[in-house]
Structure 1
Amino acid sequence: MISVGVVGASGYTGLELVKMLVTHPRFQLKYLATTTGDTVIEALHSSLVDVISFPVEKASVETIVEHCELVFLALPHKASMGFAKELIGKGVKVVDLSADYRLELDTYEEHYCEHEDRENLDSSVYALIEYYRDELKTAKLVAGPGCYPTATLLAILPFIPYMDANAPLFVDAKSGVSGAGKKLSETTHFVTVNDNIFAYNPLKHRHAPEISEKIEKIHGVKMSVNFVPHLIPATRGELVSVYGTLKEDIDPIEVLKKHYANDRFIRIREKPVDIKSTAGTHFCDIFAMKNGNALFVNSSIDNLLRGASSQALVAANLMCGFDEGVGIPMIAYVP
Structure 2
Amino acid sequence: MIRVGVVGISGYTGLELVKMLVAHPNFELCYAGASSSGKLSDSFSSLKGVIDMPIEVANADEIKARCDLVFLALPHKEAMSLASKLRKSGVKIVDLSADYRVSQENYEKNYCSHIDLDGLKEAVYGLVEINRDRIKNANLIANPGCYPTCSLLALLPFANMLDSKFGVMIDAKSGLSGAGKSLKPSSHFISVNENMNAYSPLTHRHSDEIKEHLNLAYNTDIDVMFVPHLIPLSRGMLVSSYGYLKPEFKGIDPLSVLKDFYKDERFIRIRTEPVSIKDVAGTHFCDIFAMNKDGKIWINSSIDNLLRGASSQALANANLIMGIDEAVALPVIGNSI
Report the counterpart of residue 88 of structure 2 in structure 1. 89
Which amino acid counterpart does residue 79 of structure 2 have in structure 1?
A: S
| Equivalent of residue 295 in structure 2, options 289, 293, 305 | 293
Which amino acid counterpart does residue 63 of structure 1 have in structure 2?
A: E
Report the counterpart of residue 148 of structure 2 in structure 1. 149
1-structure distance, mates of 2:217, 2:223? 15
Report the counterpart of residue 68 of structure 1 in structure 2. 67
SS at match of 1:276: helix
2-structure distance, mates of 1:6, 1:274? 31
SS at match of 2:209: helix
String of CA shifts for 1:300-325, please: whole Å, max 9, x gaps: 00000000000000000000110010
State whether structure 2 residue 212 is matched by structure 1 residue 213. yes
SS at match of 1:306: helix
Query: Shift in Å at residue 132 of structure 1?
Result: 0.4
| Equivalent of residue 334 in structure 1, options 313, 333, 336 | 336
Report the counterpart of residue 184 of structure 1 in structure 2. 183
Runs of 5+ consecutive residues of structure 1 not aligned to the other structure: none
Name the stretch that deviates more: 179-188 or 295-304. 179-188
Report the counterpart of residue 31 of structure 1 in structure 2. 31
Query: Shift in Å at residue 162 of structure 1?
Result: 1.5
Report the counterpart of residue 282 of structure 1 in structure 2. 284
Native 8 Å contact 2:268 2:286 kept in 1: yes
Report the counterpart of residue 308 of structure 2 in structure 1. 306
Which amino acid counterpart does residue 8 of structure 1 have in structure 2?
A: G
Report the counterpart of residue 49 of structure 1 in structure 2. 48
Which amino acid counterpart does residue 73 of structure 1 have in structure 2?
A: L
Q: TM-score, normalised by structure 2?
A: 0.98
Query: Shift in Å at residue 12 of structure 1?
Result: 0.2
Native 8 Å contact 2:95 2:141 kept in 1: yes
Report the counterpart of residue 270 of structure 2 in structure 1. 268
Q: TM-score, normalised by structure 1?
A: 0.99
SS at match of 1:182: coil
SS at match of 1:229: strand
Which residues in structure 2 correspond to 1:104-119 (within 5 Å)? 104-119=103-118
2-structure distance, mates of 1:150, 1:219? 17
Give the 4+ runs in structure 1 shifted more than 4 A.
none
2-structure distance, mates of 1:318, 1:74? 18
Same amino acid, percent of matched pairs:
55
SS at match of 1:28: strand
2-structure distance, mates of 1:149, 1:78? 20
1-structure distance, mates of 2:193, 2:14? 25
SS at match of 1:277: helix
| Equivalent of residue 254 in structure 2, options 239, 252, 255 | 252
SS at match of 1:135: helix
The CA RMSD over aligned residues, in Å, is 0.7
Which amino acid counterpart does residue 15 of structure 1 have in structure 2?
A: L
Query: Shift in Å at residue 87 of structure 1?
Result: 0.7
Aligned length: 334
Report the counterpart of residue 169 of structure 1 in structure 2. 168
